[in-house]
Structure 1
Amino acid sequence: MEPILLYGFPAGSSMGLVAAFERVGHPYRLCRVDMLSEMKNDAYASINGRQETPVLITDEGAVLTETMAIAAWLEARDTQRRISFEPRTPQADRMHQLMAFVNTGFTAAFSPL
């Protein structure tokens, strides 16, 4: 099975993950979820109890939520280092710092969305 990335519309912020999947070059699928009508039901809650996006269903059927966890999953599979740096290097540390900022401080600035 190919991994499936569920991303939210209209106010989701998962396009960075989509770009990372594209750059890594491994097969995957996308599933667009309407955040206003499709997430707030029992079926979606069975996938993610917090009823949020993004969600990754891995190639093994495991469910991962949260952008940083999904990015770490991708990083661990980036054997060609197309989206990441060698682990435990200053470059990898800086990349994680910038990713965390974008995912928390920067994204929080758009809370009216």
Structure 2
Amino acid sequence: MKEIFSSPAKYGYKLKAKQLYQPIRYSEIKVDTTINNLAVFAQSKGVSYAQLKEANPWLRSRFLPDKSRKVYYIKIPMKDDLYYTKRKFTTYKKEWVIDKK
């Protein structure tokens, strides 16, 4: 698998840049208080609970206790990147792409 990923065209995998998924961009929110309900928090930021959990796998429960007022940075996915767009982007691995069109 490593060899295929390092030289996909050599093994018959020919991709165009427009066929690749675009990476999701995130904004970060600084939090230093308890969040009692992460689903409500996510909704207030315009994303679903599942999208919030996917962006922040370190969140283990449905709430974020913070009695010591420690600072956390929570990633919020940008709404435009959650759905297919024709946004221009740079290819993660240039060797994966044979045609830029």
Normalising to structure 1: TM-score of the pair?
0.23
Larger RCO, structure (CA 8 Å, separation 6 or more): 2
Structure with max Cα Rg: 2
